[in-house]
Structure 1
């Protein structure tokens, strides 16, 4: 006999059931705004003012949102964070890099640099999933890389420079899922890079890097030194194009517009301080629920390392997290499954600024209901 599907009572359900860690929830108002300009914006040349104005709107919105320090620039390129790891390998690392990795994505950047035949072997400090690793000063290292928020595990660390690092060494922060939802002092970073399909509630396909004057100078120095750099991965080319409010290759126009729309919306709410407070509120709701639950616990045991934008919740033996996620999905609460390679009995929940804390509260009530019925 087939099992009777579990129907979560309507009064328990969130207004919006999207909790994916990327691509993330896109606000309906942003889609409506895109629809309103679809005939004049979509399908038009990215070299003309119609599109350039939206690129400029996005870049200026980010400058306002983050309160750009003197001399820092917002640079946009094609290809997403994976492409930017290669950009950094070609255009920002002179020879030796050091990485702190504690999840899937930080490890991928370290591997990209390790595989680059024109760079020296990097030093890698590795932390186990659910914990963190940190950078330490090392003679001869000219670039340091660390992930502010590890999307695969829900671990977040502060953005800060490496005390005692060689003069001129750059610090690169992978903020793919952190930027826009976690607080940051950009003076503590030379390269703060991310993508728009997380906190900026858009689609993928772009990388955004906030570069310090030192990072810009490093890119220019490496290019002038004669290193072969593919045009698509040439950071100097991306800088020059961004200053013209464009990208080297045609960008996804909807992605640019939706990201600009989300940035303007967050700025109107109060900017980065508002966004960070909103994600903290959502995180408090979810972690507090897990700590009180007889069958759920936060995967990240150190409260100081728990992310406010990506939460991972473990379940006790005998409680099937996969069955919970499947039932939630059948009821319109989607993408709460754990990161596939982590292989844990858990749920992973996005808490980005576009997600209303009241929907997070409703999610916890829905999970409790499902557990009771399973």
Structure 2
């Protein structure tokens, strides 16, 4: 095979980018460095850190145009930890999960393993496609990802027609929040981590919670269910209202998250951010649609993610060789 070479003027300035943690803006790193000795090393109960947490919560409330009664809650552990948090503190008896990739399957697996819950319904579809939720009389939580990172499928965020009146909708937005359009009033918990669109490091989870989700959390806490302190969502709610976390957070992560959120709001908020991701993804999918050697992996155009692009190469193309270029 002829050696491939991309002209230098077409190469990205930073070639590390992939589906993992995003690049961090240099301006945000400079701002972090400028804090000197006034931030890092400070107790998370001190006003300096609590003001930072408050800045994060207020910035996210602005970015997502929070409806009345919705709250921004945060805790340590990342989205992986939040699947267990939700299993303990949000599912009353039984849940339904949409599984259409590696990451969307994990929350359902956590619920299935919980000895105090009934067996969940797990609705599966082939990679590159997505299933739809459907109403079940005894389901009190419906859960799926806004964006399946492993396949590049984007799912609509809306309430489930015919679901019980008190059923909650939980959306894993880890790789989509901040880059995909969303009306959070269609959800009860819209949760994510800051290492994707929010240009920070991982290890933190953030959840935009509706009044109904806050009530469910309190209800389960009061029921006497045993919940490990680290995974206790009511504890996270109580601490978040004080602009702090239950245990010590990574302050650099919080600071970079705050900087990115402020930057997104200054751009024009979520509509402007979605405009950027739409323009970028249109370039990728437009090329793949016209190419003789590639096609979009996700066949249905409306399901193609704006933030995670996946492309299939012709069988005669050595994809491993292309990836090395």
Instruction: Within 5 Å, give how 1:71-86 maps onto structure 2.
Output: 71-86=69-84
Instruction: Within 5 Å, give how 1:198-277 maps onto structure 2.
Output: 198-277=196-275
Deviation of the 1:53 alpha carbon = 1.2
Classify the secondary structure of the residue corresponding to 1:259. Answer: helix
Instruction: Within 5 Å, give how 1:147-166 maps onto structure 2.
Output: 147-166=145-164
Deviation of the 1:5 alpha carbon = 7.7
Q: In 1, distance between residues paired with 2:75 and 2:161?
A: 31
Indicate if the aligned counterparts of 2:95 and 2:141 stay in contact, CA closer than 8 A: yes
**Is 1:113–2:107 an aligned residue pair?**
no
- Structure 1 residues 6 and 240: CA distance shift in structure 2, 3 A: same
Q: In 2, distance between residues paired with 1:306 and 1:7?
A: 28
Deviation of the 1:229 alpha carbon = 0.4
Classify the secondary structure of the residue corresponding to 1:75. Answer: strand
Consecutive unaligned residues in structure 1, runs of 5 or more: 328-374
Q: In 2, distance between residues paired with 1:145 and 1:320?
A: 37
Match of 2:7?
9
Which TM-score applies when normalising by structure 1?
0.85
Indicate if the aligned counterparts of 2:189 and 2:208 stay in contact, CA closer than 8 A: yes
Match of 2:169?
171
**Is 1:193–2:191 an aligned residue pair?**
yes
Indicate if the aligned counterparts of 2:4 and 2:322 stay in contact, CA closer than 8 A: no
Indicate if the aligned counterparts of 2:97 and 2:142 stay in contact, CA closer than 8 A: yes
**Is 1:304–2:308 an aligned residue pair?**
no
Match of 1:54?
52
Q: In 1, distance between residues paired with 2:183 and 2:19?
A: 24
CA deviation vs aligned residue, 1:99-135 (integer Å, no higher than 9, x gap): 1111111100000000000000001110111000111
Match of 2:281?
283
Per mean C-alpha deviation after superposition, the further-off stretch among 44-53 and 181-190 is 44-53
Q: In 1, distance between residues paired with 2:36 and 2:203?
A: 19
2:129 to 122, 128, 131: 131
Q: In 1, distance between residues paired with 2:251 and 2:233?
A: 21
Deviation of the 1:7 alpha carbon = 5.3
Which TM-score applies when normalising by structure 2?
0.98
**Is 1:95–2:104 an aligned residue pair?**
no
Match of 1:64?
62
Deviation of the 1:33 alpha carbon = 0.7
Deviation of the 1:38 alpha carbon = 3.4
CA deviation vs aligned residue, 1:271-296 (integer Å, no higher than 9, x gap): 00000111000000000011111111
Per mean C-alpha deviation after superposition, the further-off stretch among 17-26 and 159-168 is 17-26
Match of 1:360?
none
Q: In 2, distance between residues paired with 1:190 and 1:163?
A: 15
